[in-house]
Structure 1
């Protein structure tokens, strides 16, 4: 396995390459191994919501950080690919949380701004990047703004977009290589984000039945698209359907593969 700095460089290069980086988020060792073994997968991203759910916790930093990091560390150890961690909002100390994540082999991470005052959000970005420098790596921060996901339902979308751009520019100026804007699925808003923040600077989440295909996002200049908790929901949906079929007198689906 390449060393930490090399893995960080690989992950950073994947964000700036012409081909969009597609990340199917994982939540435990077996999901990580299945995704890593899939043709075309070049890096892994963990999903905090899914890891919390695995242990019976609600999302939103309800899972203890040490338990969260333990699972992420197990994922890192199980695969030979760069791993980026969803650090939520940094558990009250983004720099220290990033340091601990790097300690288990993580080379990138998401950090939510939760619409804190912009100066505070930028300081958190700077703290995470400083932790990476202290460790001797180019930590790939996917700096997230919650402008869209926390906006009131009746908010003016143009105003929300403007705020997302304002925050995104501040995070890029602070050194973040990419800005994550969940809640955006409409082509005009994606185009506006890419125009304002630059090509290969915008990161999105793929929502079932709503998002544009990854190939189209690539053509629009998006750097990265991930799946968040939705991959775990895909797996759980398949589990529930299979269970209902067996309970109803049927059999498990044909074509089920031994992936573990």
Structure 2
């Protein structure tokens, strides 16, 4: 009997380190899936940039849903979607978006406190959990605490992260995401203080994989790093072409036409 994707996605956080090479559309999802990934995740920045919008809840929801549906069509792997702040300060609207994502086949979301209060995010999580429960889906709600991104005093970051973790867990969160937290002592302290599986993001200073496993981190996200590199290649090669009439990708990896076309035809 095939395991439900929501059950599988939760299980992937129970042991070891789940690594998510964030994608942004159906094509990038197919490439990531072909590398042997166990699940797929979107990056809100990468999805927004792929449509010509800035990151930060500026992407129209219909374009977000178009990207999500394309990814679901292209891959059978469990998918979690970065829903930013739910695209609304209204918990009911954030929950309605989560319902649309569930209906499209999504089994996990990231939702952040960002510029809002932790109490507002807790309200959103409660509303989203109710919508997911009504659909009979154990949605993995990854609560993103932006403590390290919002200028909170360094001496207060760990305790504030722990406070928010407790608040979000009580509201129905499944996991805790703390981008920009890289110090081993901070990571270890937070892991000991919460039952939520901890998600960290690739960033300068993040401990190596083996150490993350030792510390008990359960999820590592690439975030926007892969898309930043990809768009950097587009920029460099486009400038080169306009300057010289050539595309010399020396030093850059390349997937040939045949390989790409074959992959996309699956």
Give the TM-score normalised by the residue count of structure 2: 0.87
Contact 1:148 1:161 (8 Å CA) reproduced:
no
**Residue in 2 that maps onto 1:238:** 233
**Residue in 2 that maps onto 1:205:** 201
**Residue in 1 that maps onto 2:122:** 122
SS at match of 2:71: helix
Q: Following TM superposition, by how much is the alpha carbon of 1:210 offset from its aligned partner in structure 2, in angstroms? A: 3.0
**Residue in 2 that maps onto 1:189:** 186
SS at match of 1:114: coil
Structure 1 gap segments, 5+ residues each: none
**Residue in 2 that maps onto 1:46:** 42
**Residue in 2 that maps onto 1:144:** 144
**Residue in 1 that maps onto 2:25:** 28
**Residue in 2 that maps onto 1:61:** 57
**Residue in 2 that maps onto 1:94:** 94
Contact 1:245 1:252 (8 Å CA) reproduced:
no
Structure 2 gap segments, 5+ residues each: 261-266
Q: Following TM superposition, by how much is the alpha carbon of 1:101 offset from its aligned partner in structure 2, in angstroms? A: 0.5
Q: Following TM superposition, by how much is the alpha carbon of 1:42 offset from its aligned partner in structure 2, in angstroms? A: 0.2
SS at match of 1:109: strand
Deviations 1:84-131 (A, max 9, x none): 000010111221110011111111000011253333221111111112
Give the TM-score normalised by the residue count of structure 1: 0.89
Given the superposition, is the C-alpha separation of residues 71 and 192 from structure 1 closer, same or farther in structure 2, using an over 3 Å criterion? same
Larger RCO, structure (CA 8 Å, separation 6 or more): 1
Contact 1:201 1:223 (8 Å CA) reproduced:
yes
Q: Following TM superposition, by how much is the alpha carbon of 1:215 offset from its aligned partner in structure 2, in angstroms? A: 2.7
- Number of residues paired by the alignment? 251
Give the Cα–Cα distance (whole angstroms) in 1 for the partners of residues 164 and 207 of structure 2: 24
Contact 1:22 1:214 (8 Å CA) reproduced:
no
Contact 2:178 2:199 (8 Å CA) reproduced:
yes
